[in-house]
Amino acid sequence: MAKNSSKHAVVTGASSGIGAATVRKLRADGWDVVAVARRADRLAALARESGAVAFVADVTKDDDVAALATFVAANGGLDTLINVAGGARGVDPVATAQAADWDWMYQVNVVGTLKMIQAFLPALRENGRGTVLNLTSTAGLAAYEGGSGYNAAKFAQHAITNALRLEEVENNLRVIEVAPGLVATEEFSLNRLGGDKAAAKKVYAGVAEPLTAEDVAEVVSYAVGLPHHINLDQIVIRPVAQAANHKLVRKG
């Protein structure tokens, strides 16, 4: 099968985890990549390692996103936007959830995705064979106890993805959603649990083979590398040990 011949991508959330793994995988597959994140030191290291172009930006800030769009347009443009930036804070039930945590999650997962899409949509439309891939979560497909804030944010991002596909099909825009389940990364659970390393470790305890960031990056690269006429609308990826959000096999 012929591969996608357009290989100019912008990847957000690139300083760690799935975002960084996606940058590495795309570069290995021959893509030109602009890697975007807030942490300049991590981005610089990733750029040296992978050959990606680093751009420091906060996807929730208008000025940062506008500067990024200007930079990309002046340096070859893009045909593929991959929105990985996101995260979770807290595992509180609705009764005691912190509004500040919810606000942060909504801004990073939802508003940041919106700002990035709006900034690059004109260029993707002009390209005529553009792709947007949003990394959501199985938390956006089924709610679970203690997940309400993250559920709400990821359900919203899932809805944006579906609406965008309907709105932009006339512009030949390919819109893909990748929704991972349990992924063991260095920072996700640690950040969600307020830096508690012991609690973060328990999230993955007894799970023989949770997904890795590299597993998800493999799927992302495959989806955007397919010929443009093939749209993988939604890809749900879980470890075998996780049959559903509420069904996870732990041993030992």
Most distant pair of Cα atoms in the chain: their distance = 55
pLDDT in the model for residue 190: 72
In a domain, 1, yes or no: no
Q: What is the DSSP string of 88-147?
A: ------GGG--HHHHHHHHIIIIIHHHHHHHHHHHHHHHHSS-EEEEE--GGGTS--TT-
Beta-ladder partners of 178: 135, 235
Amino acid at 91: V
Alpha carbons 72 and 83: distance in angstroms, whole number? 15
CA distances from 54 to 35, 43, 78, 216 (A): 5, 6, 15, 21
CATH of the domain at 98: 3.40.50.720
pTM recorded for the entire structure: 0.94
The answer to whether position 204 is within a domain reads: yes
The three-state secondary structure class of 3 is coil
For the chain, what is the domain count? 1
Residues with active-site annotation: 150
The answer to whether residue 2 is domain-embedded is no
State pLDDT tens for residues 73-122. 999 999 999 999 999 999 999 999 999 999 999 999 999 999 999 999 99
Band of the pLDDT at 7, cuts 50, 70, 90?
Answer: very high
List pLDDT tens digits, range 144-171: 999 999 999 999 999 999 999 999 999 9
Is 139 among the domain residues? yes
Residues of the domain holding 138: 8-248
Residue 2 has pLDDT above 50, yes or no: no
Instruction: For residue 3, tell me if it sits in a domain.
Output: no
Beta strands in the chain (DSSP E): 8-11, 32-37, 53-56, 80-83, 131-135, 174-180, 234-237, 242-244, 247-248
* 112 in a structural domain: yes
What is the spatial distance between Cα 149 and Cα 223, in angstroms, rounded to a whole number?
Answer: 28
3 state DSSP class of 34: strand
Give the pLDDT confidence of 12-21 residue by residue, as tens digits.
999 999 999 9
- The answer to whether residue 168 sits within a structural domain is yes
The tokens for 209 are: 């083979």
Residue 142 structure tokens: 């089924």
Q: Is 198 part of a structural domain of the chain?
A: yes
Q: List the one residue out of 140, 139, 146, 144 whose CA is nearest residue 95.
A: 146
Q: In which order are the strands placed within the sheet that holds 234-237?
A: 53-56, 32-37, 8-11, 80-83, 131-135, 174-180, 234-237
Report, in angstroms and rounded to the nearest whole number, the Rg of the chain calculated over CA atoms.
Answer: 17
Alpha-carbon dihedral sign for residues 69, 74, 80, 86: negative
